Amino acid sequence: MFATLMVVCSLIQVALAWWLPILRRIITPVVSGTVTILIAVSVLPIAFDTIQDLPSNAPSMAGPAIAGMTLLVSVIVTLRVSGRWRLVAPFISILSILAGCAVAVAFGVVETDRIAKASWFGIPEMPALSFELTPGKEFWALLPSFEILTLVLGIKTISDGVVIQQGSRQLPRAIDFRRVQGMVSVNGIGLGCCSPASPARCPQWQTPHTVST
């Protein structure tokens, strides 16, 4: 079912790319940038809940201290890096992760036993690759949510394409929407081609659910 949903949703992104010359008057950089900001804002509640996801014996200030140090180092690295170092800034940002881990070790909230027992190398289980040509009621119940999510991700891809062009040029130029159109189209094609191997197809990721009628 999930593979079929992904294929259908990939067609939405391809259609969005096809109609982008017309829709770009509506989906302006301001609109796509606002959508990108709203995506980040929508996950803030989850981030705040994760801050407090600590062992029961952890100090109350452990979560805010770890998150604060990670954010502080990340902001400093992002603002201080200049010139060609900006090309590798995402890799330099790993310093913020190491800083957060150091604070976590200081508070004693790092579960080293789970690190030691983890399977660091292995071959993932290959799920059965198939499509449902006769989707059931679960498919139609989930389709609207997947369509909206795919449309939002498509608009975010437009925003990413605009930002990449602006960040890749030394002098300001007009945005080449043909390249943005190709980016959205390729993203949709890749989504459809990789749908059978998506994580949602793995049996351990699927949980029983019911749909009320």
pLDDT digits (tens, 9 = 90+) for 63-93: 889 989 988 988 888 787 776 766 666 676 7
Q: Which of 76-80, 111-115, 180-184, 195-199 has the lowest mean pLDDT?
A: 195-199
Q: What is the pTM of this model?
A: 0.62
Structural domain boundaries in the chain: 1-47+138-206, 56-110
Secondary structure (DSSP) of the chain: -HHHHHHHHHHHHHHHHHTHHHHTTTS-HHHHHHHHHHHHHHTHHHHHHHHT---TTS-TTHHHHHHHHHHHHHHHHHHH--GGGGGGHHHHTHHHHHHHHHHHHHHT---HHHHHHS--S-----PPP---SS--HHHHHHHHHHHHHHHHHHHHHHHHHHHHHHHT-SS-----HHHHHHHHHHHHHHHHHTGGGSGGGSGGG--------
Per-residue pLDDT band for 207 (boundaries 50, 70, 90) equals: very low
Looking at the predicted structure, is the pLDDT value of residue 143 above 80? yes
Q: What is the pLDDT of residues 45-66, one digit of tens each?
A: 888 888 888 877 888 888 889 9
The predicted pLDDT at position 29 comes to 76
Per-residue pLDDT band for 16 (boundaries 50, 70, 90) equals: confident
